[in-house]
Structures are given as C-alpha cells and as structure tokens.
Structure 1
Amino acid sequence: MCGRFTLHAEDLEILKEYDLTEMPNYDQRYNIAPGQKVLAIIHDGKQKRAGYLTWGLVPAWSKDLKIGFKMINARSETAHQKPSFKRLMSQKRCLIVADSFYEWERLDKGKQAKRIALKNRHLFAFAGLWDKWEHEGEELYTCTVLTRAANTFMQPIHDRMPVILPKEKENEWIEPLKRDPNEVYQFIQGLDIDPLEAYDVSDYVNSSKNEGQACIAPLI
C-alpha cells in the first residue's frame, strides 16, 4: 500500500527534471494524504503537462464519489483485469511526482513510521492511473497509485510498495498511445526497482493534519 508521501522539491527542479514548460500553482508538501491534490504529469499528444489530481480514483462510471477513498491504490498484478482500471491501463496513465513516501513498520510495541526515498535520485514518479468524472456539469479529475509486491528492502517494513518508475521509463509510461492492458501489465512486471533508503520519523506524521519539516525529521 502507498498511503502517504512527500513532494517538497523546488518548483524549478521539477520543471527541469520533467522537461516541463510551466507548472501549476505549487506548494511544497511534507505529508500528502488520500483525498488531497497530488502533482501529476500526463502527455497530451503534443507535450507533457503538469496539473493536480485528487488522490483517490473515482471512475467515470461511478455514481458515488466516496468510492475514491477506497481506490487510492491499484494492485499492478491485477489492474489490467479489473473493470475499474483496465481502460485506464490502456490509455490514462500518469506520473505522480514525489520525493519520498511513508510506510509504517509493525513492531511488538506498535507501528513505527518510516520515510523512504531513492538512494540515487531526489525526485521520482509513481506509476499512476487517472480518470475524469462528470455529472450535471460538475467535473472531477482523480488518480490512483499502482502498487507491487515489496522487494527485499521493503519486505521487513511492509509487504507492498508503490510502483516507482525508473527514470528512463517515465516517458514511455505516459506515451499518448492506446495500449493493450496486458502489454501494460508486462511493462510493469519488467521494471527494475531503484535502490531505496529509509529512516524512522516521529509519529507526528501519523495525522494527515500535520504538515511541515517536522514530518521528515529523523527520529533521534
């Protein structure tokens, strides 16, 4: 599962890293939670575009907006078979920009929050799916983060982890091409996982109401 992450890089760094011509209004975030806006990148057929999506997928056909809170993640192993995700795997793929994510390790004394990042890269992107929901003139753009089985580094912390795209695969993920969902599944299964690092942080991050650098401060 991926239920909380950060993005506090400078806007110019994001522009340069993803070869963007412009950015939406951007605020650094240290505790991004489901139901909130996340910075995402798509390719519109001419260029890459960055914008905000609500985290928690509401499929175009849904009659209940609350479904989004149940669909913050999609299992990459089965998404190509599920009605909620199959069409999106084919043609509505996005990058969800981050610089770390949180996970809670189960210990005898309870749970310990950990901040996890890439060893060799500051910015990275989760593989995401997005959709547009419309009803009586109202529009809502939402997304979900694809997950995979944990690698050997993550297994002691949690049995699932987000799909983090290698840098050289990011543009391929959002190519504006309609693909067979099974082909997209194979693409994900073939991805390498970049080396990760982690450290303990305070339980201050446990509440999604808390924000700021205290969320990422190493626990001493």
Structure 2
Amino acid sequence: MCGRYATTRSEADLSLLFDATSVAEAPGPSWNVAPTDPVPLVRMSQRHDGRVLDTARWGLVPPWADDPRAGARMINARAETVATSRAFASSFQRRRCLVPADGWFEWVRDGRSKRAFYLTPRDSSVLAFAGIWTMWREQLLTCSVLTTAALGELAEVHDRMPLILPRERWPQWLAGGGDAPALLEPMSPAELAAIEVRPVRPDVGNVRNNGPHLLTAPEPVTAAEVTLF
C-alpha cells in the first residue's frame, strides 16, 4: 500500500453503515488522503458502551515518541509482525479499529514513468481497513492501517494491500484479544474478485490535488508530462 486512499462518505452515512455513534467532527470527504491527514475511524468505547465514529491522525505515534511527527513513518503496520512489534503489539491486542474507505491508490512503474491505479469495490460498497489506534500523551488520537501480501490480480499492481475486513468480521476485530492468525486472515477469492483495478489520473500523485476528478480515467499525456510525476 503506497500511502494514499479515498474516503468520501458523510459522517451520517458512516455512522449508519458502521452502527456507530459519532463522537468527533468528521474531517470531511477526501479523494486523496495522505499520511498525517485526519481520517475517520470506528472503534469501541466503554464510555459510550459500543462503537463510536471518531477522527484520528493517520500515522500511529508510539507512546515513547517525543514528537508526533514520528507517526508519518508509521501509517501502515504489517500483518505478519503487528502482534509482536514494539510499536504496534499493544494496540493490536487492545485498541483495534476499522478505517472506512472507498478505495486506495497504487502506482506501477512503466519505464521512466509511473501509472496510477485506484482499487475499489465494483459495487461501490464501503471498505473497512483493519486498523489499530492509540492516544499519544492523552491528546492526539492516531492510527495505522494493517497491510498484508497482495493476492490475485491485485498483486500485479503492488505486492502489498490493506487488510480488508468483511462485515461479519467487524465484531471480532473490534472486540480486542482473540487469536492473531484468525484475525489476520486475508480476503477470500470471492472478496478479492469484487475489487476493481482502475487506471486513474496521474495528478493524484500530488497531495495538494483533491476532488472526484482524481478517480476518472487518465487523459492522454506526453512522456515528458508523465515523468514529471
């Protein structure tokens, strides 16, 4: 996973889709989420006795970090090591979350240039990335998205992908504890087949660009224009 995704559903829609109570102002739709951006997540809350829709900064900041900028390097946690990593293990056991998304972006090198692709459900349903969260110094909620080895057609675009959880796995994931291998199972072949790989405009590579136009098919460009990306 290259560190960009889209999440555009409203606060009301996400609350309904995830059966969660909103407890923070939603960051608003983004077609080009980048590291350290504010993002919506769903987690369990003892205070609210159930699921809450919250807002966190993307990039988990470990408790021992002196500077929250350390989170920029920790936007992803590998499924293979998340249960034993010093930075992630505690959150994996006790502070798991769902990160709502419409789809994510990957880039494929083609000679000197790169081609951008958007991976998204064919039926436009919401994706739930497996995530973990923590509170840095009791003032900053941060999160990471788990990644796993890409399978099937998706592996032709990138060797990693987000760990995506179908709805029936949400309760177990959010509950905390549990058996790590079962929690970290990859998508089934049928679930993988439901993901479309779509070429999109190269200007998604610039974090300053945002809007639904980024999800449209790329226009013909010259080789010189593409290598600028």
Normalised to the residue count of structure 1, the TM-score between the two structures is 0.89
Structure 1 residues 191 and 172: CA distance shift in structure 2, 3 A = farther
Deviation readout 1:135-178 (Å, 9 max, x if unpaired):
xxx72111111000011121110000010111111122111x4x
Indicate the RMSD between aligned Cα atoms, in angstroms: 1.8
Q: Deviations over 1:91-132 (max 9, x none)?
A: 010111111111111222421111111234511110001111
Which fold has the larger relative contact order, with Cα–Cα distance below 8 Å and residues 6 or more apart in sequence?
Answer: 1
Answer whether contact 1:39 1:51 (CA < 8 A) is retained.
Answer: yes
SS at match of 1:58: coil
Selected match of 1:106 from 104, 109, 114: 109
Aligned to 1:76: 79
Instruction: Say which of 43, 53, 65 aligns to 1:50.
Output: 53
| Runs (4+) off by over 4 Å | none
Could you tell me which runs of 5 or more consecutive residues in structure 1 were left unpaired when the two chains were aligned: none
In 1, Cα distance between the equivalents of 2:65 and 2:23?
Answer: 30
State the identity %: 31
CA offset digits 1:5-52 (Å, max 9, x no partner): 111124433222111243643311111100100100101131110111
Please tell me the residue identity of whatever aligns with 1:184: A
Say which of 61, 65, 76 aligns to 2:64: 61
Q: Is the 8 A contact 2:79 2:184 kept in 1?
A: yes
The aligned counterpart of 2:172 is 172
SS class of match (1:96):
strand
Give the corresponding residue for 1:88: 91
Give, in angstroms, the shift of residue 191 of structure 1.
Answer: 4.8
Quote the Cα distance in structure 1 between the aligned partners of 2:37 and 2:92: 22
Residue in 2 that maps onto 1:7: 7
Per the alignment, residue 144 of structure 2 pairs with 144
Corresponding residue of 2:224: none
Q: Does 1:214 align with 2:213?
A: yes
Q: How many residues align?
A: 213
Consecutive unaligned residues in structure 2, runs of 5 or more? 220-229
Q: Which amino acid aligns with 1:153?
A: E
2:183 to 181, 187, 190: 187
